[in-house]
A and B are shown apart, each in its own frame.
Chain A
Amino acid sequence: MSTRPDSFYDVMRRQGISRRSFLKYCSLTASSLALGPQFVGNIVHAMETKPRTPVLWLHGLECTCCSESFIRSAHPLAKDVVLSMLSLDYDDTLMAAAGFQAEEVMEETMRKYKGRYILAVEGNPPLNEDGMYCIVGGKPFVEKLRYAAKDCAAVIAWGSCASWGCVQAAKPNPTQATPVHKVILDKPVIKVPGCPPIAEVMTAVITYMLTFDKLPDLDSQGRPKMFYGQRIHDKCYRRPHFDAGQFVEQWDDEAARKGYCLYKMGCKGPTTYNACSTVKWNDGVSFPIQSGHGCIGCSEEAFWDKGSFYDRVTELNVFGVEANADKMGLVTAGAVGVGIAAHAAVSINKHKNTETHKKDSL
């Protein structure tokens, strides 16, 4: 028996995954990360030799839709592999252990892999009332989060809850639910937003981090560029109808049947960064726009507070007035127009009077 720490490959073999399946998984991962075939060898090598990096998966205020998405990853292989890597450690909803035993596992991982484990967070901590709105293991979740983040290498913020706050942080946010990057300030936080994020995106991000031991390239908002580098709209297959000016105007009109662009129905594709229009959902079967419904912008910050999902020009709150820009503008411009007309009328009148005055005094 060697004493070197387990590699990923060792763990997978123990889980009954054949070498053949392992190699397939490596090529799949390379292609989903848009890496060339020459990288397959790198991944194989890394997984065979590198000590396994454990993942602790915490759950705060959330609905578990991220976990639900994750375990439905399109390639069963990827799912099995990644899950076997994860479930060995800590995940409230997926692991076998419970109660004190579970907390013990967490402690042990933190001790043994100090500074090396990845902390994946689903949901967020509410900060109001000292965090009492979310108690896990007898303690406010925010304390557990801070504690677990202390010795981790990096944090993955799963979904819109952890990344932006999502519905529990929507106005007026009574529990003061707060996204992870505003609580954990001293560790890199990778945002993987979406409600939920796409399964393949989740597995690819985590595999990338585990195999290459580094963070994926992030954009200015802390999202992996490879999946959040473009808007839904940039790769939407209905885009030619957008440029043509062919829009759906009613859910049951001819244009809807013909699959025209959903822009006028409030599609948020032009303002939403996500991979739905390329990776798609449910084994690549479809995605919302393909099914005839606009994007609701679920991976964008505060998407619950941005007015109707079905309006093109959405509500704004300006100095306490809640209306869309055209309504505010039209009302103000109308008032100004009336003002101008009245002013003009008085001016003309006055001007005439002074003219006659001048003539009189001549």
Chain B
Amino acid sequence: MSSPAMTQEPVYVYEKPVRLWHWVNALALVVLAVTGYLIGNPPVVTGGEASDHYLFGYIRFIHFSAGYVLAIGLIGRAYWALVGNRYSRQLFMPEVYRLTYWKGVWHEILWYLFLVSEPRKHVGHNPLADLAIFLFFVLGSLFMIVTGFALYGQGLGEGSWADRLFGWVIPLLGGSQSAHSWHHLGMWYLVIFMMVHIYIAIREQYVSRQSMVSTMIDGWRTWKDDRP
């Protein structure tokens, strides 16, 4: 999986549910980051009675709805890892127990530091991408979902499903205010992932020896040359 590709034939890597999830999830994360930032730094409406406006209410509503999309999407994606093709499992389990995996990570680091002249070909994610996606995206969004629904449970009230399921994290993080701050910081963790991720995806589309962005659109990994 993470090891260099041995084939020169196009491979169908990302099945339809994975691609659909990728783009829905990307949209949800962008919406969450924008509305989340606004929850911390709200825009102000002036004039009129309170009953004439519901701006902040809508911002929070959109945030919570996108939060549900993120959480339910991740559950669906986890299910697909069980029933989908071999590449669908990579997201959740980088093969960190293999020496060849770490050698692969090292090679990719050298590649991004311009220290090797030719990149390797990968059918699925390259090992470094796999690691970054796991550490930043998988762990990051799990953290955001847990803290997000814990805060959401405070609004739903004590004993609500969100409070019973996730309420325990709030004292663990040092109270509601600290939980807000950590949730807020988590946004930046994911924003940084998104910046690097999009940059690398576009860059690799051009400079690597394989297809990239188009693979996440039509599912096929194609190759630019037929050397191994």
List the interface of chain A (C-beta within 8 A of B): 219-221, 225, 229-231, 234, 240-247, 249, 254-255, 263-264, 268, 270-273, 297, 300-303, 306, 312-316, 318, 324-326, 328-330, 332-333, 336-337, 340, 343-344, 346-347, 350-351
CB pair A245 B158 closer than 8 Å: no
Chain B residues in 8 Å Cβ range of A249: 44
Whether A351 contacts B177 in the complex (CB less than 8 A), given A219-B158, A221-B171, comes out as no
User: How far does the alpha carbon of A264 sit from the alpha carbon of B37 in the complex, in Å?
Assistant: 13
A336 to B176, CA, bound (A): 30
Closest 4 A/B residue pairs (Cβ): A329-B188, A245-B55, A271-B176, A244-B53
Interchain CB contact under 8 A, B181 and A316: yes
Q: Which of B55, B112, B176 contacts A244 (CB 8 A)?
A: B55
B86, chain A: closest CB distance, angstroms: 30
Complex Cα gap A240–B188 (Å): 30
Are A243 and B56 in contact, CB atoms less than 8 angstroms apart?
Answer: yes
Task: Determine the chain B residues whose CB is within 8 A of the CB of A268 once the complex forms.
Answer: 177
Could you say which residues of chain B place their CB within 8 Å of the CB of A315?
181
A160 and B56 alpha carbons, distance in the complex (Å): 32
Q: List 26 A-B contacts (CB under 8 A).
A: A230-B158, A240-B50, A241-B50, A242-B56, A244-B51, A244-B53, A245-B55, A263-B42, A264-B42, A271-B176, A300-B176, A302-B174, A302-B175, A306-B177, A313-B181, A314-B177, A316-B182, A325-B184, A329-B184, A333-B191, A346-B114, A347-B203, A347-B207, A350-B114, A350-B207, A351-B207
A273-B176, A333-B188 given. 7 additional CB < 8 A pairs?
Answer: A245-B43, A245-B57, A297-B177, A300-B176, A326-B37, A337-B195, A343-B112
> Which single member of A225, A243, A330, A340 contacts B196 (CB below 8 Å)?
A340
Q: Is B228 an interface residue (CB 8 A)?
A: no
Q: Is the CB of A245 within 8 A of B44?
A: yes
Beta-carbon nearest neighbor of A337 in chain B: B195
Residue of B nearest to A313 (CB): B40
Assess A314 versus B181: contact at CB under 8 Å? Given A302-B174, A333-B188.
yes
- Give chain B interface residues in 181-200, CB to chain A under 8 Å: 181-182, 184-185, 187-188, 191-192, 195-196, 199
The binding surface of chain A is classed by DSSP as helix
Q: Say yes or no: A244 contacts B192, CB within 8 Å.
A: no
Contacts of B195 in A (CB 8 A): 333, 336-337, 340
State the CA gap A254–B46 with chains docked (Å).
10
Q: Is the CB of A333 within 8 A of B192?
A: yes
Q: Is B45 located at the chain interface by the 8 A CB criterion?
A: yes
Instruction: Scan B147-176; emit 1 where CB is below 8 A from any A CB, else 0.
Output: 000000011011000000001100100111
CB contacts (< 8 Å) of B44 on chain A: these are 245-247, 249, 255, 264
Q: Nearest chain-B residue to A241 (Cβ)?
A: B50
Which one, A247, A306, A324, A346, contacts B178 given CB within 8 A?
A: A306
For the complex formed, measure the closest distance between the CB of B209 and the CB atoms of chain A, giving whole angstroms.
Answer: 12
Q: Does B143 contact A (CB under 8 A)?
A: no
- A271 near B56 with CB under 8 A, answer no
